[in-house]
Structure 1
């Protein structure tokens, strides 16, 4: 190989090495850039994790505060319920009855009010008011007149001081001899406030027009449950309390 050829080979080798070095330099800069991006991404991730931890801690703190307030609210409701059923308040309700809610109910309950009033022989002397807390009694019973056969369910108007999230309301239809004819129940968690409560009977039953008993009870509820009912004390408060259900009927066509 001549000297010129050796020089040319050397120059080509140097050029190849320079190109390789440039490629390696570009690769190093790219890796460094990726490293910086990964560091930035890692920093962002750490910040997000820290924010999430702070958020969860805030939720836990807020949840604890809410639980405390709920506990206090239920304690106040329990105290109010005890006051309602004290001897003094019961005497006051007897001789100075609470106001009549007739005509003041939410729009969704007005049809129920009108239907229940139409089922009574008279509403004279009766006041539409919440009844006793069903937690305090095994059940409440109302006379029920069915104008037609094939009763499939009952609509009622429950009253809650606070949302009731556990337990259920149970409804029974009894004959005059106390024989159970139909039964249905609904979880309290599924009940919408200020709306009629509809309980259907399963399996469906065949009833005849006539007089029956409507029995309502609660099981395992975590707060007071009352029903709107028609109430009247006889003999200007000196006689017994008469109650009629504020209810509607669900019948098959």
Structure 2
């Protein structure tokens, strides 16, 4: 069997409880979020196959990875922090903590060697500003990195990547307009690379049949036209969110200066 990539959305964080909580910087998991991790730990069927742990450097994804894949962590596998897997929006809840603070908090649990000092810079000129073309580019970069990670690692390789609802749609190249994301907290879906030769410059993923059956049952997959239409709608909503966030930040700065 070809290497498998298990994509996982983080557990519930305090920012998920209300819109106002989106302004919380890099929030913790809620107690219910920790229970969700426990359920994922109990129900995930591939613990004995996991060879690599990867997470967005935002705290809730690291905690979700640590708690949900505790067996692999206990066995000595470090969580690799992949900054291209961070969330898309400009809200403080989706802007990660400074690298030095993360290193102090998580220590040897996480491999931060790929994390740059400016990884949480989401200014308009940065790689991580939530422009659709930039999001596509870094999602592609993340997929290419994953492909390089599993290259030569053997067909029994299983990677768990814990990340976020927004960027997951770019990683999987679909756009489901469902409450901001079509992924539930701690939902996992399993993929392999669409091109087995490793030559695809896009490094596209395709969901495994058993993963599709588990979450869709007999549901008919979307056509390419339907996917394009949903993508346009998703981008419209995302752009509105960026505008609202920037307007709110400007208003807060104005009030502070008065």
TM-score where L is the length of structure 1: 0.27
More strand by share: 1
Larger Rg: 1
Higher relative contact order (CA 8 A, sep 6+): 2
